[in-house]
Chain A
Amino acid sequence: MSRADRLPGAERLKGLQGQPLAWHIALGIVAAAVLYLVTSSVSLYDNTIISEIAWYAIAIAGLSVLTGVSGQISLGHGAFMAVGAYGAGLMMEHFRLPLIVPILVGIAVATVLGAVVGLPATRLRGPYLAGVTLALALAAQDLPTKFSSLFNGDTGIIVNQATPPGGVNPERWLAWISLFGAIVTMIVLANFMKSRYGRALKAVRDDDIAAQASGLNPNRMRVLAFALAAGTAGLSGGLFALWSGIVNPNSFSLFLSIQLLAGMVIGGAGSLVGAWWGALALVYVPQWTNSVTSHFSSVSAITANVQGAIFGLLIIVVMMAAPTGIQGWLSGGYRRLRRGRSRTELEPVLPLDLDLSSTSTAPERTRP
């Protein structure tokens, strides 16, 4: 029942919106064309930045689907990136294979591990799951040191640059690969969210019992979501390995996991477009703060810390000023403009309600 082989003609372009997969692929092709033009016209350095944005966006998008759609929180997403990076990196180090193979292996290993970790996730809620994933992120950092012979300890493994076909610069080639990976990821995730499974996950998030009653298995759905997010992080890790040229434990510190979470919430949990805002913030804010501080201060204790301070402050400010993230704020503004009145309807990102608001606005409950 593949929808792809029923691709409608141009005159039925409108009808595409009713067919998520075809519609998402069409959007992807447009995006690819635009990005091809962009990568070809900007400098090689900017192409490296584009690759970085792409692997960030991939990881954040997976996390976003996990949190936004299924309501689960992972504080250890960097660990799955590490798995993907080491998986792909080791394959590239030991075998001569087309690039796609190690990347796919990285994704596969991360997905399997995600499913395994997802198993306890079926029983855990909110902060309990956060605790487990946090512990996982820490453990992931120590494992390469423990199994030094395989992972080469703290030094890590060297990853050779992807060899581009004749005439293409390696930086540009990497940007293309990363963007291709990102576009495919976005198509898959967008389709997943619109699919029966994605809707089922939302149902599970909103009401376990109701979901069960309608014949869904909430536990299986949660494992699926976790595995999907982990696989996405695996891809991100593989691309990271190519981008950075070296894979070592330092790259996947707890800070990376926290950055991903922050990027997701800054962009807007549950939104794929938001993932890109988050990635842009993670890449450009540090750059910007570095250049600003080098102008103003030469005291090393201060310059070394301004980046962190501004990053922290940014997270706080965005969360307080735009609780649904940049994307939520933008689409809220767009909706306001279209309706011509200042009414905001913000869908809560997570279902669990806090009974802390100073005035509870729950309407009169109805009873049977």
Chain B
Amino acid sequence: MLEVSGLSVSYGPVAALSEVSFKAEEGSITAVLGANGAGKTTLLRALTGLAPVKSGSARWASNELIGRRTEELVRLGVAHVPEGRGVVTELTVEENLRLGALWRKRQPDFRQLIERTYDLFPPLAERRSRPAATLSGGERQMLVIARALVARPQLLLLDEPSLGLAPLVTLELMRTVKELSRRDGLTLLLVEQNATSALSIADAAVVLSIGRVVITGDPKTLAADDQLRHSYLGF
């Protein structure tokens, strides 16, 4: 279980997150929603040591995540797919994938793992030796998710996977994400601007507004509550 409690982040005098607390069950998908600047990305960055945490904690399995160095987290089974710019465009598709497995000293099933990933995302297999810069937006998003999977995480933090994707591609992506979580028992924290598609696959939802948690609960009730949707999600 991921248990975040009292997490606060500030950039200089500006508070980006204040006292954020919530729980995410193992093997579940938790959608993190909210308007622009609500602190969704900051939340993920705080969990992986990329944002300056002022106070609070985040426990995953039996480990405290806060205060660790970013590069240690993948060793605790946490993978973070950052928003938008996660592909290393100067490397080939395959090199990007290999990067995901490098943190392990020994990788006996490395080849197999990469092949399995290609099965999951066939377009990547076709372009394996091409520079990642040649990929389309959707393919890039596939690549960063695939790369995170190669790292074999138990907790996957996804930041706006649907950003810049066509609705149909988004739908496809959400389906894949759902399947992954079911198949591998992945715990997922899914930050989305696109609330509808995220709510459609989520088991739980956390809504942020100006750095605070305003609602936690069942995605279906949330999707049905017009009042909440209007005030915090803007649709």
Contacts and interface: CB of A to CB of B under 8 A. Distances in A.
Q: Indicate yes or no for A touching B, C-beta below 8 A.
A: yes
Contact of B41 (A343, A359, A361, A364): A364
Contacts of A360: 50
Contact of A364 (B13, B37, B52, B70): B37
A365 B83 contact: yes
A interface bracket (residues with beta carbon within 8 Å of B) = under 10
Interface residues of B, number: 18
A366 interface: yes
A367 B36 contact: yes
Contacts of B11: 361, 363
10 contacts: A359-B49, A360-B50, A361-B11, A363-B14, A363-B16, A363-B42, A364-B41, A365-B41, A366-B36, A367-B193
A367 to B, nearest CB: 7
A364 B40 CA distance: 8
A343 B41 CA distance: 26
A358 B193 CA distance: 28
The B contact surface, by secondary structure, is loop
A361 B52 contact: yes
B12 interface: yes
A361 B51 CA distance: 6
B39 interface: yes
Contacts of A343: 12-13
Contacts of B13: 343
Nearest to B84: A365
Interface of B: 11-14, 16, 36-37, 39-42, 49-52, 70, 83, 193
A353 B36 CA distance: 24
Contacts of A361: 11, 51-52
A363 B70 CA distance: 17
Contacts of B39: 364
Given A364-B40, A364-B41, A366-B37, A359 B50 contact: yes
Nearest to A363: B11
Contacts of A359: 49-52, 70
Interface string A333-368: 000000000010000000000000001110111110
Interface in A309-345: 343
A364 B50 contact: no
Given A363-B11, A364-B41, A367-B36, 11 more contacts: A343-B12, A343-B13, A359-B49, A359-B51, A360-B50, A361-B52, A363-B14, A363-B42, A364-B39, A364-B42, A366-B36
B126 to A, nearest CB: 31
A136 to B, nearest CB: 32
* Most interface-central of A364, A365, A367 (chain B CB within 10 A): A364
